[in-house]
Amino acid sequence: MSEALRHGISRYMLYSLRDKGVIERVSRGIYRLTELPPIGNPDLVTVSLRFPKAVVCLVSALAWHDLTTQVPHVISVAVPRNARMPSLDYPPVQAHRFSGEAYSSGIEEHRIDGVPVKVYDPEKTLADCFKFRNKIGMDVVLEALKLYKARKEFDLAKLLEYARVCRVEKVMRPYLEATL
């Protein structure tokens, strides 16, 4: 909506276009043309548009990288320590405050239907999952580690670097040694 207002489209005109079926409401403040093909991942697009500093993390990032069989019920995002906490009616969002290097390292930017979506890379996601193992469950973490190890791009050095950044190196090391 803010983008439409910047381009000279009034709220009245926007609501009129919605009522005529030209545009549809995706979420509060987010509209799109109805003639466009369906959005690839509407939940991630909505969260990214509403909260540009948010980075998809934990189980949501595992699902993005195909490192879990879990279906995320909420979109887990990381925000900088001093940022506003995201809150949406739909999709449900679970925000986690990360600080400094733990927030800024390992961010990949993907484009979904032209919208930039920030997601932590697989190694950073695994380190974060070890950090939040008591919240997401150790079974989810071990499954993700097993699926990650089965890939051809297994990067132990990068994984250990992110473990150091997230301060979980001592926790991760025995699991890494057992899987190698």
Provide the pLDDT for residue 56. 97
Provide the pLDDT for residue 31. 78
What CATH number should be reported for the domain whose range is 37-179?
3.30.460
What distances in angstroms separate CA 170 from CA 27, 77, 108, 140, 175, one per listed residue? 42, 25, 26, 19, 10
User: Exposed, middle or buried by CB within 10 Å (0-12, 13-18, 19+), for 73?
Assistant: exposed
Confidence of residue 161 (pLDDT cuts 50, 70, 90): very high
Confidence of residue 157 (pLDDT cuts 50, 70, 90): very high
Element (H, E) at 178: helix 169-179
Residue 71 has pLDDT above 80, yes or no: yes
- Where do the domains of the chain lie? 1-36, 37-179
pTM of the predicted model, to two decimals?
Answer: 0.82
Chain centre to alpha carbon of residue 77:
5
| Beta-ladder partners of 108 | 119
Confidence of residue 98 (pLDDT cuts 50, 70, 90): very high
Residue 39 has pLDDT above 80, yes or no: no
Tokens of 164: 């150091």
